[in-house]
């Protein structure tokens, strides 16, 4: 997981995205440089959308199943072909599932205790969630005692502040509803969407680290 986010930095998060424009939205993100996608399992048609991503783009994309907070969702995600799981917390039930099925997982953490639990499972790349609600230097407070851990920022991340999260020490970010202005998506202005996402990817790739 660490190398994946160091390489691509940006994960586009789709939650309950209407199927009628999901393919066009995904294509715009892909053309803009996105290679990591998260589909939230609490959204309608999530499993089908995970399958679509792999059927359409094959191994050129990395697809995570978000909000995998129950064993049922985890099993559905695995059956749909998800490459990895994402959770908002550190449920040992879900961490056990990931370990038993050899599925990479990006668990959400907010405290030293959460980090300790993940390290017991050998998981060192973690999701700091909700990152936008935490002090700017909170990541340094965690990395101090837990050397070797790396973090992805999710929650409160926008195109205008995404590079700043990288400068704070995060190796990547996940952006959902803030990825594009609502009027661009609702108006299906996909050429504009492609340009905006490409500009975001460029601004993040320009950050050294």
Largest Cα–Cα distance in the chain? 48
CA 89, 98, 171, 65: dihedral to nearest 10 degrees?
-80
What is the tally of structural domains in the chain?
A: 1
The answer to whether the Cα torsion of 184, 186, 191, 197 is positive or negative is: positive
- Domain of residue 76, CATH code: 3.20.20.70
pTM of structure? 0.96
Domain of 198 in residue numbering reads as 2-205
pLDDT band for 200, please (50, 70, 90 cuts): very high
The pLDDT tens digits for 31-71 are: 999 999 999 999 989 999 999 999 999 999 999 999 999 99
């Amino acid at each position: 997981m660490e190398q994946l986010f160091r390489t691509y930095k940006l994960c586009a998060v789709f939650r309950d995205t209407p199927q009628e424009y999901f393919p066009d939205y995904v294509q715009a993100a892909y053309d803009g440089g996105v290679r990591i996608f998260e589909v939230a399992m609490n959204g309608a048609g999530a499993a089908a959308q995970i399958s679509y991503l792999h059927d359409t783009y094959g191994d050129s994309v990395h697809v995570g199943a978000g909000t995998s907070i129950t064993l049922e969702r985890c099993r559905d995600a695995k059956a749909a072909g998800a490459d990895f799981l994402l959770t908002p917390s550190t449920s040992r039930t879900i961490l056990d599932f990931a370990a038993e099925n050899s599925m990479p997982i990006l668990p959400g953490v907010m405290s030293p205790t959460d980090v300790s639990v993940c390290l017991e499972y050998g998981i060192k790349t973690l999701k700091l969630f909700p990152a936008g609600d935490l002090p700017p230097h909170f990541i340094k407070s965690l990395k101090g005692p837990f050397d070797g851990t790396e973090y992805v920022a999710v929650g409160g991340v926008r195109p205008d502040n995404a590079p700043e999260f990288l400068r704070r020490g995060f190796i990547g970010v996940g952006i959902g509803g803030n990825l594009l202005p609502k009027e661009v998506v609702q108006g299906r202005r996909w050429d504009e969407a492609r340009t905006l996402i490409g500009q975001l990817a460029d601004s993040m790739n320009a950050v050294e680290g």
